[in-house]
Amino acid sequence: MNDENKIIIYQVFTRLFGNNNNHCVYNGDIATNGCGKMADFTLKALGEIKKLGTTHIWYTGIIEHATQTDYRRYNISPDHPAIVKGKAGSPYAIKDYYDVDPDLANDVQGRMKEFENLVHRTHRTGLKVIIDFVPNHVARQYHSDAQPDGTTELGANDDPNQSFSPYNNFYYIPQAELRAQFDMKDGAAEPYREFPAKATGNNRFDATPNITDWYETVKLNYGVDYQNGGTCHFSPTPDTWIKMLDILLFWASKNIDGFRCDMAEMVPVEFWEWAIPQVKEVYPEILFIAEVYNPSEYRNYLFRGKFDYLYDKVGLYDTLRNVACGYESATAITHCWQSLNGIEKKMLNFLENHDEQRIASDFFAGNPRKGIPALIVSACMNTNPMMIYFGQEFGELGMDSEGFSGRDGRTTIFDYWSVDTIRRWRNGGKFDGKMLTEEHKHLYSIYQKVLTLCNEEQAIKKGVFFDLMYANINGWRFNEHKQYTFMRKYKNEILFFVINFDSQLVDVAINVPSHAFDFLQIPQMESYQAIDLMTGAKEEICLLPYKPTDISVGGYNGKILKITF
């Protein structure tokens, strides 16, 4: 793969992808509802994912996590149902950092080998592999049955009589039993017992977490004494740091290409500053992507923490969501990239992931077509990575009531379930399109077009960006609240983007300011032959600083006019 490629990540929830059951029942167990497997990612399936324009696939939920499914016959200790979210369990409540989730394997005993084969197949297809690293918290009943020789299990040498010690892996509430504010039996013969209680994953340092807390997890101790002003004890190197570096190196040795690091800001930046360079010393090409939500810390996690990319959630995602829904003006998009002050190329753009609501859901746009303008902006305005979530390309609704996950506009990560559009697309592994509707196919063709253009067009892949909005405020024939326009340029190629968030076709007149001609070094011309890359249609446009450029754009759509001079 060309290393200069623009990164296009296809996030897939591994256990849901291959589940063919179209009669899943609410809160059903694995026997009733079934479960997708790693083996469902055949060479054919991976080839189809690649055809979308994908360069990387993020297999979400690979590492063994707490579950209500009984795997005792495979020497996997069971989890108490009161502290597992859903029948399948949350993939972010890791039970064994050194093992693969048994749900995902056809041969449970051979599950690590199946994962290694999955990595090999993915690479054969020309795709790269990303998995989760969940550093902040683990399942309440964490226990590794695959702990490598020469390493020690988390908590094995802790002193639970100390609420905080830099030598402990967990935080404790000494002499207190866990008394959660919900049913601690949940159908089991005996209630769940934890003594002394451990601090809960979302920084809850008492013994009484409630149903809104991350109650199924316990917080890991990286040497920060949160209850005494957040004082840091980083010398000598905290034991948790050493254990977590071992875990990163273990998975990196499986030939994966990147880690998406869950809630990276809840772990001190000093840990990342220490760990990431050590992993990259052995695996220099490996990527680290941080899930972050605090813009004031972005630079810290990039430049000190050494992350390659950060989530752009509170900036571009939130803004594009609001513009698509009509709550905010398209002028806000300009403020997004400006507020990043030069780190735009280090941000991961997306419109859906497992945490967010589906575009087509009643909770977001209610119509997948409304997401098309946002897709073009998100994917094409810079050289940085773009991510989509499996099913997004077909307008997956996310409106099922699956079990622990209610009808909330999201695809469940807690339950055994099947995703309607993905099941139709796969059609039993044939991928022949016979189960897809015309609407599904049309939306897919747009996603495929935009995402493949990202690497076919040098101007998107590595060109410069010029925002035209400042010259088009209060225009006679341009509504800056509903349209967004910018240019990308590489060598002698210009891409002129006109994006329409409105439902109606619009005829707009766009001012291209003198500064754009100077900055981009474009010759002024009364008439240029342009090709709309979205449709292949040709049109004549003028590019002059004293005369607006006339362009018409369909509702919920965009034009990408390519001009070569």
Class of residue 275 by CB neighbours under 10 A (exposed 0-12, middle 13-18, buried 19+): buried
Backbone phi, psi, residue 190, to 5°: -125, 150
> Per-residue pLDDT averaged across 60-85, rounded?
97
Q: Which CATH architecture has domain 463-564?
A: Sandwich (2.60)
Q: Tell the burial category of 516 from Cβ atoms under 10 Å away from its Cβ (0-12, 13-18, 19+).
A: buried
Do the beta carbons of residue 204 and residue 213 sit within 8 Å?
yes
Strand partners, 333: none
Q: Report the C-alpha gap between 447 and 425 in whole angstroms.
A: 15
Contact in structure between 358 and 409 (CB atoms under 8 Å)? yes
Q: Within 10 A of 438 (CB to CB), how many other CB atoms are there?
A: 7
Q: How far apart are the first and last CA of the chain?
A: 29
CA 91 – CA 93 distance, rounded (Å): 6
- The strand pairing partners of 551, in sequence order, are 508
Give me the residue label for tokens 């923490």. Answer: 305
> Would you state the pLDDT for residue 475?
87
Summarize pLDDT for 319-369 with one digit per residue, the tens: 999 999 999 999 999 999 999 999 999 999 999 999 999 999 999 999 999
* Mean pLDDT over the full length of the chain: 97
Residues 186-221 pLDDT 10s: 999 999 999 999 999 999 999 999 999 999 999 999
Q: Which CATH superfamily is domain 8-63+99-139+242-456 in?
A: Glycosidases (3.20.20.80)
pLDDT at 3: 57
For 518, the 3-state DSSP assignment is: helix
Answer whether the bond into residue 148 is a cis peptide, omega within 30°. no
Q: How many CB atoms lie within 10 A of CB 392?
A: 26
Average pLDDT of the segment spanning 51-69? 98
**Per-residue pLDDT at 386 exceeds 60:** yes
Residue extents of the structural domains in the chain: 8-63+99-139+242-456, 463-564
Q: What is the pLDDT of residue 111?
A: 98
**pLDDT given at position 46:** 98
Rounded Cα distance, 197 and 180, in Å: 10
Both tokens of 26, joined, read 């609410």
- DSSP-assigned states of every residue in 421-482: HHHHHHGGGT--STT--HHHHHHHHHHHHHHHHHHH-HHHHH-EEEE-GGG-TT-TT--TTT
What single letter denotes the amino acid at residue 33?
N
Q: Is 37 helix (H, G, I), strand (E, B) or coil?
A: coil
